Amino acid sequence: MAEKDLQKQINEINDKLDEILICATQQRLRSEMMDDLLADLSIIGKDVFRSTVTELDKQGIELNVDDLKTLSFKIIRNLDKFSDMLSIFESIYDLMEDLSPVVREMIIDLIKKLHALEKKGYFEFFAEMFKIVDNIVTNYKPEDVRLLADNIVTIMDTIKNMTQPQMLQALNNAVHIYQKLDMENIPEYSIWKAMKEMRTPEMKRGIGFLITFLKNLTAEKALPEKTLSN
């Protein structure tokens, strides 16, 4: 029984020695690989350094070792700042990834709305409006535009008054009557016939309307002058 236990211990010791030998062999291989890698990197680094020096010499650039040291020290001292900057860039990148679906949907909606506006003719309308503006700029001087700006309130008031329902109805009636006139068959009136027509109720109302209109027009014109004189 003791011999079996002893043999078992010997076998365990042999297994452990085999594992140690395997680990040592692997460590030696890794060390050799590291040495080879360092040697290769050293060769590459020397070649890169020579090439860099040669290229700098061709470009007429002098490499100052002290400046490189100073720059290296600054980089080392500001590693935390570089780390903060990288964190900011990462946050911005994450934000852009989060917003990209929303931005994509906004762009799609914008394209759809622009397409709808194009189908309705908005772009053609604005193109024609631009032609109007171009004609105004071409045919009018800056002084004309300045006068327009100075009198824009009066113009707008006039347009506002002309677009009142009563005024539009009166203009429509006048246009309608004018369209009904036969311009080629206008009757001729002598002085006696004209004086006779003036006695009709329609002509009396027309003359009354004309006189009332002229009187009010004169009074309206005199009112601002009186105000200014005061």
**Can you give the pLDDT at residue 222?**
61
Residue 117 pLDDT exceeds 70: yes
Question: Distance (Å, rounded) from C-alpha 39 to C-alpha 78?
Answer: 31
**Can you give the pLDDT at residue 210?**
84
Read off the tokens for 194: 């004209």
State phi, psi for 189 to the nearest 5 degrees: -120, 130
Read off the tokens for 221: 């014109």
In the chain, the amino acid numbered 199 is R
Scanning the structure block, which residue is given the tokens 């860099």?
52
Which position has the higher pLDDT, 143 or 6?
143
**What is the residue-averaged pLDDT of the chain?**
80
* Domain boundaries of the chain, sorted by first residue: 17-63, 64-139, 142-181, 190-225
Tell me: the pLDDT tens digits for 179-205? 887 777 877 878 888 788 788 888 888
Residue 221 pLDDT exceeds 70: no
Average pLDDT of span 47-67? 73
Question: Distance (Å, rounded) from C-alpha 124 to C-alpha 126?
Answer: 5
Tell me: the pLDDT tens digits for 86-103? 888 888 888 888 888 888
**Can you give the pLDDT at residue 22?**
84
Scanning the structure block, which residue is given the tokens 């050293």?
42
Average pLDDT of span 1-15? 72
**Can you give the pLDDT at residue 62?**
67
**Can you give the pLDDT at residue 20?**
84
171-175 contacts, C-beta under 8 A, 24 or more apart:
none
Q: What is the DSSP string of the chain?
A: -HHHHHHHHHHHHHHHHHHHHHHHHHHHHHHHHHHHHHHHHHHHHHHHHHHHHHHHHHTT-PPPHHHHHHHHHHHHHTHHHHHHHHHHHHHHHHHHHHHHHHHHHHHHHHHHHHHHHHHHTHHHHHHHHHHHHHHHHHHS-HHHHHHHHHTHHHHHHHHHHHTSHHHHHHHHHHHHHHHHS-GGGPPP--HHHHHHHTTSHHHHHHHHHHHHHHHHHHHHHHHHHHHHH-
Most confidently predicted of 9-18, 54-63, 164-173, 182-191: 164-173
Considering the chain, what percentage of its residues have pLDDT values greater than 90?
0
Does residue 17 sit in helix, strand or coil?
helix
Which position has the higher pLDDT, 143 or 58?
143
Give the chain's radius of gyration (CA, Å): 50
- Give 116: exposed, middle or buried? Use CB within 10 Å, 0-12, 13-18, 19+: exposed
Average pLDDT of span 15-37? 81
Residue 127 pLDDT exceeds 70: yes
Residue 2 pLDDT exceeds 50: yes
The closest of 207, 206, 209 to 217, measured between CA atoms, is: 209
Read off the tokens for 199: 């006695």
Residue 225 pLDDT exceeds 70: no
